[in-house]
């Protein structure tokens, strides 16, 4: 019986762009990919959140590059890819982490979260701009370089909220539908950008990540955790591990997949 070739999990010599790379899941992806040998582009906001993550990945023996990018802005996104190609002459992986269910980053488009009957149309559309448009713009920007290279992997971060399989809080509807769109967009990209580019999505459940001022959400979702088969929230590293698999050659026949990382919720 042939043994599994663990070298297929390596990203040595490759370049990965991670949007939202200075946040919880983004940073975890950056560290995991760096440990696998990839050079890392941290595309994130606010600007002062970027240098610590760049420094962290460089301690792992790879090159880091930080860019302050509003991923909802087409011009800035195109510049992000141009600067990446200028520095590394390649872009092998894109992880679209940037997004959110409400505005906690003052450098990104602001929107409020509310039940549908109380939700302003502009807030509904901003949820799509921050989550869906951003993923579309970034994927579209890297696709030509990946096509030209004959290989690439795009990983979109969706959400269990986009699955529509559980009753959500009333104020999560705009976010949930935006993430559903991200996951459906993933399938279209996979169908039309192959065979060179593999496109997949991860749908995280409750992930305990730091919030502003170092706060955590543990006290906010204690009841929700009771519905999770594994009896706890997930960690950013557990999402990053799946992203690393999807980015690597170990997932060479995986495209158009949406992988739940939710502990059995």
Domain with 39 in it: what CATH number?
3.40.50.720
Residue 80 counted as domain residue: yes
Residue 1 counted as domain residue: no
Q: Residue 115's pLDDT is what?
A: 92
**109, exposed or middle or buried, with CB in 10 Å at 0-12, 13-18, 19+?**
middle
Residue among 65, 124, 175, 245 flagged as catalytic: 175
For all residues of the chain together, what is the average pLDDT?
92
Ranges of residues in the chain whose predicted pLDDT is under 50: 213-215
- Note down the domain range covering 69: 6-261
User: CA-CA distances (angstroms) from residue 27 to 85, 97, 146?
Assistant: 21, 10, 23
Residue 231 counted as domain residue: yes
Residue 50 counted as domain residue: yes
Q: Residue 171's pLDDT is what?
A: 86
Q: What is the tally of structural domains in the chain?
A: 1
Q: What is the percent of the chain with per-residue pLDDT over 90, rounded to a whole number?
A: 79
128 tagged catalytic: no
- Name the E strands within the chain: 15-19, 39-44, 64-68, 93-96, 152-157, 197-204, 258-261
Q: Residue 215's pLDDT is what?
A: 47
Residue 219 counted as domain residue: yes
Q: Residue 84's pLDDT is what?
A: 98
Q: Residue 211's pLDDT is what?
A: 59
- pTM score, two decimals? 0.94
């Amino acid at each position: 019986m042939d043994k599994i070739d663990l070298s297929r999990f390596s990203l040595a010599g490759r370049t990965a762009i991670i949007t939202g790379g200075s946040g919880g899941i983004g940073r975890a992806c950056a560290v995991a990919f760096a440990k696998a040998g990839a050079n890392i582009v941290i595309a994130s906001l606010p600007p002062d959140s970027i240098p610590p993550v760049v420094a962290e990945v460089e301690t792992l023996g790879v090159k880091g590059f930080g860019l302050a990018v509003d991923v909802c802005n087409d011009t800035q996104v195109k510049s992000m890819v141009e600067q990446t190609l200028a520095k590394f002459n390649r872009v092998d992986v894109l992880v679209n982490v940037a997004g959110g269910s409400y505005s906690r980053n003052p450098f990104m488009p602001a929107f409020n979260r509310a039940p549908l009957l109380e939700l302003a149309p502009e807030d509904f559309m901003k949820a799509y701009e921050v989550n869906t448009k951003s993923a579309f713009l970034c994927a579209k920007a890297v696709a030509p370089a990946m096509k030209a290279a004959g290989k690439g992997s795009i990983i979109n971060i969706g959400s269990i909220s986009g699955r529509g399989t559980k009753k959500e809080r009333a104020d999560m509807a705009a976010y949930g539908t935006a993430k559903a769109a991200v996951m459906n967009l993933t399938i279209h990209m996979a169908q039309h950008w192959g065979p060179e580019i593999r496109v997949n999505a991860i749908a995280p459940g409750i992930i305990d990540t730091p919030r502003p001022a170092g706060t955590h959400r543990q006290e906010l979702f204690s009841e929700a955790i009771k519905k999770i088969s594994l009896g706890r929230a997930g960690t950013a590293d557990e999402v990053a591990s799946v992203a690393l698999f999807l980015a690597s050659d170990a997932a060479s026949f995986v495209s158009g997949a949406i992988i739940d990382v939710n502990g059995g919720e």
